[in-house]
């Protein structure tokens, strides 16, 4: 079942997404060597709840935290812990907020201090692939056009796309239909219609696309132990083109 959103509902998702963007920025301020991933999670929880929101991930299928924090070879779904960030790490931070009955979902990968130029390129290609996917999310296009755009861009740049995890519809539920793969064929899959709200979230590996789940039952990591990056926006399909509802504006104010 696909739930197309009204303008009123899209406005509510935008309000949720604004709080999410500001929560990400509070966390971004703490992305420094020596800071534990638990500290980042605590900041997100406090900021979201202080602003009347609910962290979407906490308790979701038993997930114990407000953030998924995935370091280096971890792709997604890392659990915050006492582990501290160190110079040269990359860290993917995924967060969701529920506010006024609606979820929003976004993710950003950070450099901790200086990273190698190749890892830097992994991050910029992954982020650019997100915008390639968003550009393809035009009214009347198909889900496969999004995946094709992401996959072809990533592979042209020498990296690989994770297939086991995908984007999704967003609304009253954190994960709604349809699934939004980051790979696919042009012109295939569900037709994108106005009012469809989806999270587009490429997970891009430096080496092989193969991943496994750690014994904690959550963390996904690369099999070859090479790094992986993840960026995500929640987007609405509009007649005139896709509109991004989440924002990296607050994060990038902190980083610049
Ligand atoms: Mg997410
Ligand atoms: Mg998501």
Across the chain, what does the average pLDDT equal?
Answer: 98
Compute the distance from residue 43 Cα to the ligand 1 centre, in Å: 17
Domain formed by 7-255, architecture: Alpha-Beta Complex (3.90)
Tokens at 145, concatenated: 């056009």
Confidence of residue 26 (pLDDT cuts 50, 70, 90): very high
pLDDT given for residue 207 in this prediction? 98
pLDDT at 106: 98
Token pair for residue 86?
């160190």
pLDDT single digits (tens) 154-195: 999 999 999 999 999 999 999 999 999 999 999 999 999 999
From the CA of 68, which ligand is nearest? 1
Q: What is the separation, in whole angstroms, between the first and last Cα of the chain?
A: 42
Span from the CA of 174 to the centroid of ligand 1 (angstroms): 9
CA 97 to centroid of ligand 1, rounded, Å: 10
Q: pLDDT digit string (tens) for 234-248?
A: 999 999 999 999 999
Ligand lying nearest the CA atom of residue 76: 1
Q: What is the mean pLDDT of residues 93-111?
A: 98
Residue 93 banded pLDDT, cuts 50, 70, 90: very high
Write down the domain spans for the chain: 7-255
The pLDDT, as a whole number, for residue 10 is: 98
**pTM given for the model:** 0.98
Distance from C-alpha of 85 to C-alpha of 116, rounded to nearest angstrom: 16
For residues 13 and 105, give the distance between their C-alpha atoms in angstroms, rounded to a whole number: 10
Ligand with smallest separation from the Cα of 173: 2
Q: How confident is the model at residue 142 (pLDDT cuts 50, 70, 90)?
A: very high
Nearest CA among 167, 154, 155, 179 for reference residue 233: 167
Note the pLDDT tens digit of each residue in 108-140.
999 999 999 999 999 999 999 999 999 999 999
How many angstroms is it from 211 CA to the middle of ligand 2? 18
């Amino acid at each position: 079942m696909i739930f197309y959103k009204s303008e009123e509902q899209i406005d509510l998702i935008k309000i949720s997404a604004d709080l999410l963007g500001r929560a990400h920025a509070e966390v971004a301020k703490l992305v420094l060597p020596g800071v534990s991933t638990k500290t980042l999670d605590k900041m997100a929880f406090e900021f979201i709840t202080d602003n009347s929101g609910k962290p979407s991930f906490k308790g979701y299928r038993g997930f114990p935290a407000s953030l998924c924090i995935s370091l280096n070879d971890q792709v997604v779904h890392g659990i915050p812990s006492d582990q501290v960030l160190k110079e040269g790490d990359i860290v993917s931070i995924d967060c969701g907020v529920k506010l006024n009955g609606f979820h929003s979902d976004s993710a950003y990968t950070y450099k901790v201090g200086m990273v190698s130029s190749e890892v830097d390129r992994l991050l910029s290609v992954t982020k650019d692939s997100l915008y390639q996917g968003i550009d393809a999310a035009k009214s009347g296009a198909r889900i496969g056009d999004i995946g094709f755009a992401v996959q072809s861009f990533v592979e042209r740049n020498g990296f690989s796309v994770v297939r086991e995890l995908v984007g999704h519809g967003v609304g009253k539920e954190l994960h709604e239909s349809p699934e939004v793969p980051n790979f696919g064929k042009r012109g295939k899959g569900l037709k994108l219609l106005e009012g469809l709200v989806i999270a587009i979230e490429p997970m891009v590996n430096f080496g092989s696309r193969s991943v496994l789940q750690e014994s904690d039952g959550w963390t996904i990591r690369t099999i070859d132990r090479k790094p992986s990056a993840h960026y995500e926006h929640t987007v609405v399909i509009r007649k005139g083109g896709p509109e991004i509802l989440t924002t990296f504006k607050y994060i990038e104010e902190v980083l610049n």
